[in-house]
Amino acid sequence: MAEPTQQFDAVIIGGGVIGCSIAWRLGQAGMRVAVVERGDVGREASHAAGGMLVPLAEADEADDFFHLAMAGRAMYADLARELQEASGVDIEYRTDGTLHLALTEEDEEELDRRWQWQHAAGLNVKRLNAGCALKLEPLVNPALRWALKFPDDHQVNNRQLMIALRAAAQNAGVEFLTHTEARQLLIETQAGQKLISGVNTSRGELRARTVVVAAGSWSSLLAFDDGHQLDQFKIEPVRGQMVAVEMPTPAARHNIYSSRGYVIPRLGGFLIAGSTTEHSGYDKRVTAGGVASIIERAAEILPCFNQLAITETWAGLRPHAPDDLPILGADPNVAGLIYATGHYRNGILLAPITARAISELITKGQSSINISPFSVGRFARRQAAG
């Protein structure tokens, strides 16, 4: 239980994969860090995710976001080893790769565009005829026309990842305040400059000269103690439902995509299928329609899916910014206020690169990662231009 007022070097609002990753890195740097989490650590979007690390399978062009995502993916092999040492937890990092299936003429057109630009760019993508793809995954729909294989698009068990991150952060001295609401951001003014001074929570005040907003879908609900909202951006929760079923025989090994859905094999003997994209506010209920649509799309990929027993269903809320991009970096108007939110469908993938960028920004004053394209200031610039 927190005291009415405590002093920290940094307070992280949000105990998901982003907040915990940043907190761990800051703890390793010797800072006294508190994570404020409104519920249980890692039980929101981070728990509901699929754990795929697939920038190539989903990319349409080599833009700033693509380069950030590729850098995040490249960090996972080392991250898995480091977290094993720091926490004793295996995050089940798997390197079997990803298949993207062309099942219709429209699929062929989409995949051919992806193949053309990625192959021309020298990226590791392979074009497989139907026979080769079916040898890799015999249960795939025999109506398959052809497929792309992305050998470097991997996966991780996101729930194991959260267990490992929390343990590693705690071992680095990070304090977790769970079931604690961050009510207000505390600011003061010195020589005309607004400075962050801490966070008012349901357990009292936490004082810090650095506050990181990593609250996912709840980020836009925060307010300053002078009554002003965080009105530079709006994070919207977008519901995604998921279904897990028993693993068929022979077992699937790859992440398997179509243009309409995906299935992910897990070491525990089950498949995860997803997902929906629903603008339903903060409603996390699983619906019959959502489950039915997921099963229909998964059965298009693996026709045997309809015969497999359901082992779990769930839903989570993805934090979506207006332009689909994360919000990273310092607030231009309040010194010490840092954003690491809006990761939408890529929180797991971007966690290690976000943690590096934000922890360097805090400990060194600047980051070796170019996060300027993801600055919160982009929204103000667009409003001015409009």
Which option is the CATH number for 5-48+160-234+323-385: 3.50.50.60, 3.40.630.30, 3.20.20.70, 3.90.79.10? 3.50.50.60
Percent of the chain with pLDDT over 90: 94
Q: How confident is the model at residue 232 (pLDDT cuts 50, 70, 90)?
A: confident
In the prediction, which pLDDT does 3 show?
Answer: 55
DSSP letter assigned to residue 251? P
In the prediction, which pLDDT does 229 show?
Answer: 80
Lowest mean per-residue pLDDT among 170-184, 236-250, 313-327, 372-386: 372-386
Average pLDDT of span 114-120: 97
14, 179, 346 from 39: Cα distances, Å? 9, 4, 21
pLDDT surpasses 70 at 298: yes
Q: How confident is the model at residue 233 (pLDDT cuts 50, 70, 90)?
A: confident
Tens-place pLDDT, residues 63-89:
999 999 999 999 999 999 999 999 999
pLDDT surpasses 70 at 367: yes
19, 205, 216, 230, 233 from 339: Cα distances, Å? 10, 20, 10, 11, 11
> Contact at 8 Å (CB) between 329 and 376?
yes
Cα-Cα-Cα-Cα dihedral of 17, 18, 19, 22, to 10°? 110
User: For the chain, what is the mean pLDDT?
Assistant: 96
> Contact at 8 Å (CB) between 343 and 22?
no
Residue spans of the domains in the chain: they are: 5-48+160-234+323-385, 98-151+236-320
pLDDT surpasses 70 at 386: no
The CATH class of the 98-151+236-320 domain is: alpha beta
Average pLDDT of span 160-180: 98
Compute the distance between CA of residue 303 and CA of residue 107 in angstroms, rounded to an integer: 18
Q: How confident is the model at residue 383 (pLDDT cuts 50, 70, 90)?
A: low
Average pLDDT of span 352-374: 98
Average pLDDT of span 354-371: 98
Percent of the chain with pLDDT over 70: 97
- Cα 141 off chain centre by: 29
Q: How confident is the model at residue 1 (pLDDT cuts 50, 70, 90)?
A: very low
Average pLDDT of span 24-31: 98
